[in-house]
A and B are shown apart, each in its own frame.
Chain A
């Protein structure tokens, strides 16, 4: 277990240190997510009735499209100067490389979501008291997005038009997670909670479980020339 965890944590450490120095991913994803929220705030008249219906969708549109930017950048960094080859030359399983990269994306997206939601709540006049209920929804959805996104960003980075290819490949596959996240967030924001939330959270967890099993194998095939 230690031999698996050690390279995973080393990769996470490397990505966090690089991000603290360059601020490439978190800043660009955060700014993009905030811009989406501001645009929607102007585009619709945010009455309480309308907000209750559209706010979850707006929030996850901001997160998912911001996440695509972060995913593109995460593997572009590995492509520069052949660093992905450097990773593949180490005697660790490709699955350890997958989980190391996936955890980095998960952490960066979680940071962006933690900063974005309070601003979103203020702009759309939503309560901050729902945050504890939103946390498991956000964590499960972000885990699914990061897991699928890691495979497709590794695939897209080798294509000529990776900025276009990544969303085209990634978004259709991650739709079940987005639907689950939007529905569960809606339940929390409208204060319905209870059985409705209990229905969506296991569904998100099930998608994550499937992706966590399938994606490391897919990643292995993607990075082999």
Chain B
């Protein structure tokens, strides 16, 4: 696991001393249903933060707001010093996003989908880059297959390859392990732990407590739109984090913590 420093990977075009992600007082509601309530969170460069929480706790909304897909009701959010509300295009240049959906066109081949993404990002020498990310995800042999003919797991691998394609500084991953087989899970864990290209800073949501503990420098538990617990394995110890998870998530879902 890489150690995190002040801002070694910070891109030159942004404030070099700014944290990778800084969230202050983030609030979001859908209609009358509050989803995120006055949330504060900070992620340093080269840090992996895993966010755990039950269904409906606001994990996906948090990722969507950081990815500039959803506007918050209130709060200040900065990514690499850029205000997400005002500098959406600049923020999108720095992040790679993995969502629940593969975000690929079924009737294009995987290569055509990735080439389209490369052109939208204005990438040079995209052929080499496409080969590299497909190789990394173990799907190079499937590049020229239409996406509609791929299994869910292969689509997910390509969707991670797509997030890595523009060489982002920060990865935002919403339950990226769903649908992946053991080989792909090992690749994903290696990417999160050791980085890929410039991507060494990761915010990843997951339902898998043990994976969250294994991969994250820090773990946050999101319950009912609030950070109910935030801590590190090194300081708190695994049993404390597990106890916190069972206390908050177990109590919230009604599951038996033992």
The number of residues on chain A lying at the interface, defined by a beta carbon within 8 Å of a beta carbon of chain B, is 27
- Measured between beta carbons, the chain A residues less than 8 angstroms from B70 are 225
Does B69 have its Cβ within 8 Å of any Cβ on chain A?
yes
Could you say which of A10, A86, A224 contacts B119, with CB atoms under 8 Å apart?
A: A10
Does A80 have its Cβ within 8 Å of any Cβ on chain B?
yes
Does A83 have its Cβ within 8 Å of any Cβ on chain B?
yes
Most B-side CB within 10 Å, residue of A10, A13, A18: A10
Given A17-B108, A92-B89, A87-B101 contact (CB < 8 Å): no
B38 CB → nearest A CB, Å: 20
**Do B71 and A86 touch across chains, with their CB atoms under 8 A apart?**
no
- Measured between beta carbons, the chain B residues less than 8 angstroms from A77 are 105
Interface residues on B, range: 20 to 34
The distance in angstroms between the C-alpha atoms of A106 and B121, with both chains bound, is 24
B247 CB → nearest A CB, Å: 33
Q: Which of A74-91 contact B (CB under 8 A)?
A: 77, 80-83, 85-91
Most B-side CB within 10 Å, residue of A18, A85, A91: A91
Q: How would you classify the secondary structure of chain B's contact residues: helix, strand, loop or mixed?
A: loop
The distance in angstroms between the C-alpha atoms of A92 and B122, with both chains bound, is 9
Of chain A, the residue at the smallest CB distance from B166 is A91
**Do B122 and A18 touch across chains, with their CB atoms under 8 A apart?**
no
Does B93 have its Cβ within 8 Å of any Cβ on chain A?
yes
B114 CB → nearest A CB, Å: 12
Does B14 have its Cβ within 8 Å of any Cβ on chain A?
no
- Measured between beta carbons, the chain A residues less than 8 angstroms from B121 are 90-91
**Do A86 and B106 touch across chains, with their CB atoms under 8 A apart?**
no
Of chain A, the residue at the smallest CB distance from B91 is A91
- Measured between beta carbons, the chain B residues less than 8 angstroms from A199 are none
Does A6 have its Cβ within 8 Å of any Cβ on chain B?
yes
**Do B69 and A225 touch across chains, with their CB atoms under 8 A apart?**
yes
Does A46 have its Cβ within 8 Å of any Cβ on chain B?
no
Q: How would you classify the secondary structure of chain A's contact residues: helix, strand, loop or mixed?
A: helix
Given A10-B119, A14-B116, A225-B71, A90-B101 contact (CB < 8 Å): no
Given A85-B69, A88-B69, A7-B120 contact (CB < 8 Å): yes
Of chain B, the residue at the smallest CB distance from A82 is B101
Q: Which of B131-174 contact A (CB under 8 A)?
A: none
Does A22 have its Cβ within 8 Å of any Cβ on chain B?
yes
Q: Which of B97-118 contact A (CB under 8 A)?
A: 97, 99-108, 112, 116-117
Could you say which of B67, B106, B116, B120 contacts A81, with CB atoms under 8 Å apart?
A: B106
**Do A91 and B69 touch across chains, with their CB atoms under 8 A apart?**
no
- Measured between beta carbons, the chain B residues less than 8 angstroms from A224 are 71
Given A7-B119, A225-B70, A91-B89 contact (CB < 8 Å): yes
The distance in angstroms between the C-alpha atoms of A17 and B33, with both chains bound, is 42
Residues on B lying within 8 angstroms of A by beta carbon are 64, 67-71, 89-90, 92-93, 97, 99-108, 112, 116-117, 119-122
